[in-house]
Chain A
């Protein structure tokens, strides 16, 4: 395949960015999207040009490092996958592909497609934990959890913290991200003890970081690579109201 890439290039946080155009020949449909960018970078280095910077690590859709806006969608046009799992078989010869970083005030651009997602860690540090020291835990089977509850908790616990929900939202809301963690702990007896404190602290930090509010458009749910659901946001709201 021959492709035209229009990639956002930005030297650093303060520089003004712009789209640059790159031509790619010989792209195999069996390549992963990031492998296509690897090939571009190989070429750029051979021409002694600055390669495109992007975050990536596990390349199997679980670490949450990668994430870019591809043709107007976080993680590209295919639902329920991360950028690293996006295959080039979903594109066709002659396509132009637009590649941008996450755009949200709480996620400033560091370079090119790399953004700073520290704000997510800050929210987690505020309350995304159950307070138990190593050595203090009771015997595992002394805590019984109904299988349905446990499975529901798992379905929210699989959030990878990539930030696609924020990038997809017109308000740059982090509600889906926060609600996933709140829901996991709200559904488990272990998490109930600190539930009120947790939701207050996490929401407070979320607001402080400058994330917007939720207006129920559902863009986050539609773009989440792990299919976290809007119902979790509803649960977050309930937990929040109960916390005062």
Chain B
């Protein structure tokens, strides 16, 4: 327990960040030029941090596996980005945003970090607007907002259904400006394959050039991981197909604790699976729940098309179960409710694994044009994928793996348990507890990258100003590179029959069935065995054609899947350990008589920070007790 020092500043919640900024150690402009920082990932947090650090005068080296930083998966976020601007005069405030996140996260997030995320949210909106992000506007020229799940104010700024793309292109532009100035060097088509520690501090990475296959050594005074989440552990998810956990997993095995790995958000509104080769599930933004009503037929196995089922034969189960929030309940609640109806036999479509999201009433009331204005691109996307016109028929949707609240444990400064190694954005665990509210991911990623990390990293780097440029000829680089190369060669030498994706798909199925929306002890224990069995098969029957000195996408994939096998075990272990239901983590043994999550604050009001125990050895649990000073622990009710 003594290993976790969260470094939360003293003083009242609302003064912590201000006090911290006033007293944090600074690095002089002359010294910043001498310091190098590696940033992995170019989403909102990674590209934001790179550009902010560049603006401050640090030497930044930024890496991404895509061909261009503009493709990071933040690009796919749809609905919006929250801020406590209170432009609607509807009673919003920093505290209310903070409170909504704490409550939405089912009281499993760290107060001080969450408050700070809410605090910098307004700066984030100002910054994006200045960068030319075309947020929706009202006729007077001011910014428009909309409401989102889990809250009763309208604080979500948006650019139709592609807010993530617009914000990402905003950070991409500020990153480009720093590349032009020479403050950031960009390394695209590179994959980080390991972290290099020297005297216990993060000092560099080993990366593979995905075009030439060359293994490269890169050094720095600090390393920042902005590599996103691990939702593709389910194989089918709303994430980009190449999203992976390898960077954070490598860091974890080098000493960074992994916090709350089993907290994975299942998004309630995605396009259901259409075929057995399906590679991903496409999200339909939660913002649709503002105007769309979710229902299933009252009659079991009713196969009539949705628009032919009369009103009295429809069960608007969210409105029925949660009259106060209705269709706008938080994501975890909406997802489980859909699963409950489908499992009970009321699901629709070919598979019975879908529910209706219906715009009939909204179109009747507001007109087709108004709906088109708000969601046009989403309706188009839905039609492109399924061939169904949702202006006429209801959309069919089903939950899908989406966002990982868990991630590397970080302190208030966003530093992991490895000195000099930081984790920002979705890659860390700190702000969303056991469930994330819609539109607060873009907010947190942007805040971490642009405004928080660039300040907190100075506190560490101020002690590093005497450390000269780190050279890559050190034995630590040599040894790590050797291990990386050996592993690549191992994949190439198995010469079995199956490709990596086939294993990934089967692993994903195990995880989805036993460690997805609903979990229980028996299933989790069974899953542990199944994962190990499949892992053995992987190391015996994998085939990676070709060699490592070329573009080899099978080799890339093999490494990511191998890491997912290990992470899966930890995820299950964490889900087994947490004998309560909270947020997205729903253990069947712990529920109220009417099927709601039953939290256990006495025993589980802590962050489970798992320490790597060594090859083949069990993980070690470290607990960070969560102290709630400003909010009262309550049963989360949306009824």
Contact = CB atoms under 8 A, between A and B. Distances in A.
Contacts of A55: 67
Given A63-B73, A154-B166, A34 B279 contact: yes
Contacts of B451: 134-135
Interface string B57-80: 000000000111111010110000
Contacts of A70: none
B384 A87 contact: yes
Interface string B200-218: 0000000000010000000
A64 B71 contact: yes
A70 B15 CA distance: 58
A229 interface: no
A125 to B, nearest CB: 5
B241 interface: yes
18 contacts: A12-B551, A30-B275, A42-B501, A45-B498, A45-B544, A51-B499, A62-B76, A63-B75, A87-B385, A111-B551, A117-B67, A137-B130, A138-B126, A140-B130, A146-B137, A160-B165, A161-B70, A190-B132
A31 B71 contact: no
Nearest to B65: A57
Contacts of B475: none
B179 A125 contact: yes
B543 A63 contact: no
B406 interface: no
A38 B160 CA distance: 32
A143 B126 CA distance: 10
Nearest to A112: B551
B498 A57 contact: no
Contact of A136 (B51, B130, B160): B130
A134 B454 contact: yes
Interface of A: 11-12, 28, 30-32, 34-36, 38-39, 41-42, 44-46, 48-51, 53, 55-65, 81, 85, 87, 89, 110-111, 114, 116-118, 120-121, 124-126, 128-141, 143-147, 150-151, 153-154, 157-158, 160-161, 184-185, 188, 190-191
B275 A31 contact: yes
Contact of B274 (A11, A30, A60, A132): A30
A43 B451 CA distance: 48
A140 B129 contact: yes
Contacts of A42: 499, 501-502
Contacts of B66: 57, 63, 65
Interface in B164-195: 164-166, 169, 172-174, 176-177, 179-180, 186, 188
Contacts of B310: none
Interface string B122-154: 010111011111111111111100000000000
A60 B132 CA distance: 24
B240 interface: yes
Contacts of B173: 124, 128-130
A138 B553 CA distance: 45
B282 A60 contact: yes
Interface string B384-426: 1101000000000000000000000000000000000000000
B279 A132 contact: no
B159 interface: yes
B71 A38 contact: no
Given A48-B545, A135-B123, A147-B138, A161 B68 contact: yes
Contacts of B85: 140-141
A64 B545 contact: no
B127 A39 contact: no
Contacts of A51: 499, 545, 553-554
B373 to A, nearest CB: 9
User: By CB atoms of chain B within 10 A, which of A124, A184, A185 has the most?
Assistant: A124
Given A45-B499, A64-B71, A121-B69, 9 more contacts: A32-B279, A46-B499, A116-B67, A121-B68, A133-B55, A143-B130, A150-B136, A153-B134, A190-B131
Interface residues of B, number: 84
A53 B67 CA distance: 14
B550 interface: yes
Given A42-B499, A117-B67, A147-B138, A110 B277 contact: no
Contact of B132 (A28, A65, A191): A191
A131 B318 CA distance: 46
Nearest to A146: B141
Given A65-B67, A110-B551, A38 B385 contact: no
B457 to A, nearest CB: 14
Contact of B278 (A35, A58, A128, A139): A35
B497 interface: yes
A58 B239 CA distance: 7
B236 to A, nearest CB: 11
B543 A144 contact: no
A53 B554 CA distance: 9
B545 A49 contact: yes
Contact of B127 (A12, A46, A137): A137
Contacts of A136: 130
A60 B283 contact: yes
B271 to A, nearest CB: 9
A218 B36 CA distance: 46
A138 B130 contact: yes
B272 to A, nearest CB: 11
B539 interface: no
Contact of A144 (B140, B276, B502, B550): B140
A188 B125 CA distance: 16
Contacts of B169: 157
B26 interface: no
Contact of A154 (B70, B123, B134, B277): B134
B67 A140 contact: no
Interface string B262-288: 000000000000111111101100000
Given A81-B384, A138-B126, A63 B76 contact: yes
A59 B141 contact: no
Nearest to A111: B551
Contacts of A53: 551, 553
Contacts of B450: 134
Contacts of A153: 132, 134
Contact of A145 (B127, B137, B240, B554): B137
A65 B76 CA distance: 12
A167 to B, nearest CB: 15
B583 to A, nearest CB: 26
A132 B76 contact: no
A39 B242 CA distance: 17
User: By CB atoms of chain B within 10 A, which of A34, A42, A133 has the most?
Assistant: A133
Given A85-B384, A185-B132, A129 B174 contact: yes
Contacts of B132: 130, 153, 157, 184-185, 188, 190-191
Contacts of B456: none
B551 A45 contact: no
Top 6 A-B residue pairs of the complex, sorted by shortest distance between their CB atoms: A144-B141, A137-B130, A129-B173, A45-B499, A154-B134, A137-B126
B501 A63 contact: no
B470 interface: no
A185 to B, nearest CB: 6
Nearest to B55: A133
A154 B87 contact: no
Contacts of B444: none
Nearest to A13: B211
Contact of B241 (A39, A59, A144, A185): A59
B126 to A, nearest CB: 4
Contacts of B138: 147
A209 to B, nearest CB: 14
Nearest to A162: B71
A45 B283 contact: no
A184 B134 CA distance: 8
